[in-house]
Amino acid sequence: MTENFDAVDIIRTKRDKGTLTAEQIDWTIDAYTRGVIADEQMSALNMAILLNGMDRAEISRWTTAMIASGERMDFSSLGKATADKHSTGGVGDKITLPLAPLVAVFGVAVPQLSGRGLGHTGGTLDKLESIPGWRADLSNDELMAQLSDVGAVICAAGAGLAPADKKLYALRDVTGTVEAIPLIASSIMSKKIAEGTGALVLDVKVGSGAFMKDEDSARELAETMVALGQDAGVNTVALLTNMATPLGLTAGNAIEVEEAVEVLAGGGPEDVVELTVRLADEMLQAAGVSGADPAAALKDGRAMDVWNAMITAQGGDPKAKLPEAKHSDVVYAPADGVLLELDALSVGVAAWRLGAGRARKEHPVQAGAGVRLHAKPGAVVRAGEPLMTLLTDTPDKFDRAREALAEAVLIAPEGDRPAQQLIIDRIS
């Protein structure tokens, strides 16, 4: 087969700050997927994109080419609106669990294709797999049937969605090019657009526990992804949300499921409830539903009914006892005062080291491992009171987890913690 372009010419174009044509981009993604472009050549191109960027038309075409590398799902036969949410990842971010059934209460189908955790950020599928019997892998027919019957599904994405992205992501991970905003945006949006949802709400995290540490970078990523969604005909909005401190009072797997169920029962931590309700509002508005009251649906049990049906449909027992860690270790407050800071990254790394996360995709996780928080910033604490409980099946991990927490906490003798908004901005 004669190739239309040469990889070296395309690398030189981006190296020299040029603009790639639609035809060059289509060929590049297809040729890399076919193995015509070698990993070292795509690595060079990725680095050139990281350093020199892409314009909106280039990013849009790059995303379209990645979608075209695989299948695209179609939910039109459901006869109802669809909406999805994507979070860029954080610590204690169990929002998808109560959110999917909550939105489904109002007649909007939620096909939530989720992933597993890597490093300090937790994975939705890892959390749900702590429920006895629950399974993540569904066929397309099973997914469609569950959306029709229950209205919500949280499951693993099939291998047929944007296979070019899977290959590109693995390469970016080992070549120092993960941070390239055009490549992050196209990676996320190619999969979300290929999922076929009509509306998409993005939760772009900002802060120490997030991928984007500063607001400017997070805003650029959010604006890029919203533009990609709109270019593809998907009604897309984004929220910038705070990830300086963990969400809720748990970071782990089973303990986060437990907290999500508390929210579905009308309780739970204020920040988890606030973000769940706000994202539900955004998803419903984007799907064309007005006048809904998600907060009421949490209080009156309607969202819990959908949760129970959703878990049962995927083989899980929503009433089953969740796994518990065999060992625990308490971290105590070192002084009296006001808890001013509780660093999300430190807590995430501690949970990861305790066994709640993985360093490589193939590594197992412990269902019961993690960190349970007893105070959040703004609370008055006393020396010797519990600040956190560390949980694991392997007690030799406690020392390394404590090392991660060495600088996690700032306690001042007195004074107010500067107010921090959970929801920083909305981008549409």
The DSSP code sequence of 295-343 is: HHHHHTSHHHHHHHHHHHHTT--TTSPPP--SEEEEEEPSSSEEEEEE-
Give the pLDDT confidence score for residue 418 in this predicted structure: 63
Q: What percent of the chain has pLDDT over 70?
A: 98
Give the pLDDT confidence score for residue 4 in this predicted structure: 87
Active-site amino acid positions: 86, 165, 172, 187, 191
* E strands in 163-262: 199-206, 235-242, 250-252
With beta carbons less than 8 A apart as the criterion, state whether 388 and 351 touch: no
Give the pLDDT confidence score for residue 42 in this predicted structure: 96
Show the tokens assigned to 427: 């981008």
Alpha carbon distance 120, 91 (integer Å) = 7
**Residue recorded with tokens 């769940």:** 276
Alpha carbon distance 20, 380 (integer Å) = 56
With beta carbons less than 8 A apart as the criterion, state whether 167 and 81 touch: no
The domains located in the chain, with CATH, are 76-158+196-313 (3.40.1030.10), 327-412 (3.90.1170.30)
Residues of the chain with pLDDT below 70 are: 1, 118, 361, 415-418
Give the pLDDT confidence score for residue 118 in this predicted structure: 67
Using DSSP's 3-state secondary structure scheme, residue 139 falls into coil
With beta carbons less than 8 A apart as the criterion, state whether 334 and 388 touch: no
Give the pLDDT confidence score for residue 166 in this predicted structure: 87
Alpha carbon distance 311, 300 (integer Å) = 19
Alpha carbon distance 111, 281 (integer Å) = 17
Nearest to 299 by CA among 124, 150, 105: 105
Q: Is beta strand 235-242 parallel, antiparallel or unpaired with respect to 423-427?
A: antiparallel
Show the tokens assigned to 325: 């860690």
Kindly list the distances between the CA atom of residue 8 and the CA atoms of 28, 37, 275, in Å, as whole numbers in the listed order.
11, 9, 46
Kindly list the distances between the CA atom of residue 328 and the CA atoms of 112, 357, 368, 383, in Å, as whole numbers in the listed order.
33, 17, 10, 20
pLDDT tens by residue, 178-227:
889 999 999 999 999 999 999 999 999 999 999 899 999 999 999 999 99
Give the pLDDT confidence score for residue 306 in this predicted structure: 98
Q: Taking the CB of residue 71, how many other CB atoms lie within 10 A of it?
A: 15
